Amino acid sequence: NDVSQKYFREPTELVKRKDDEARTAEVTEGNALIERLKKQSDDNREKNELLVKQKTMINDSSASFGPFDQQVLILNEDGKGFTLLPNPQAMRLKKAGFISDDKKFIKQPTPEDLEQALEPEEGPGLLDRFFGGN
């Protein structure tokens, strides 16, 4: 008593074959995409692990080094470690162009550069500048 049987019929062999071809093409293309994405994930794994380690250590450093601390943590140029420097030394190195604004070494300083940055520049002291002394 179902009227729909009158309007719907079984698909022909041609329709069935085209449907099967379309389904196998989807599966093949999907597998190629999945394989490419898996390979890309494997290639990026080491880079991503290093990035996560850096971000974690930077975020954890705020627990040990506050804004008024006497030392500052600077990310090495290779991105795999940190250097702990006294604040005045770090500021002198930043002024010399070794450290970027986001506390990363642009160029890793030599031991001589680090030693030189330990000593303040010659010139009038703070009190001399403030009071105009000679």
134 residues of the chain, pLDDT tens digit each = 567 777 777 778 888 888 888 887 766 666 778 888 888 988 899 888 988 988 888 888 877 777 788 888 888 888 888 888 998 999 999 999 999 988 899 988 888 888 888 887 766 666 666 676 55
133: left (phi over 0), alpha (psi -120 to 50) or beta: beta
Q: Are 128 and 120 in contact (CB under 8 A)?
A: no
12: left (phi over 0), alpha (psi -120 to 50) or beta: beta
CA distances from 59 to 7, 47, 51, 55, 127 (A): 67, 18, 12, 6, 37
Q: Name all contacts of 32-37 with Cβ < 8 Å and 24+ positions apart.
A: none
Instruction: Specify the 3-state DSSP secondary structure of 121.
Output: coil
**What pTM was estimated for this model as a whole?**
0.54
How far apart CA 128 and CA 34 sit, in angstroms, is 69
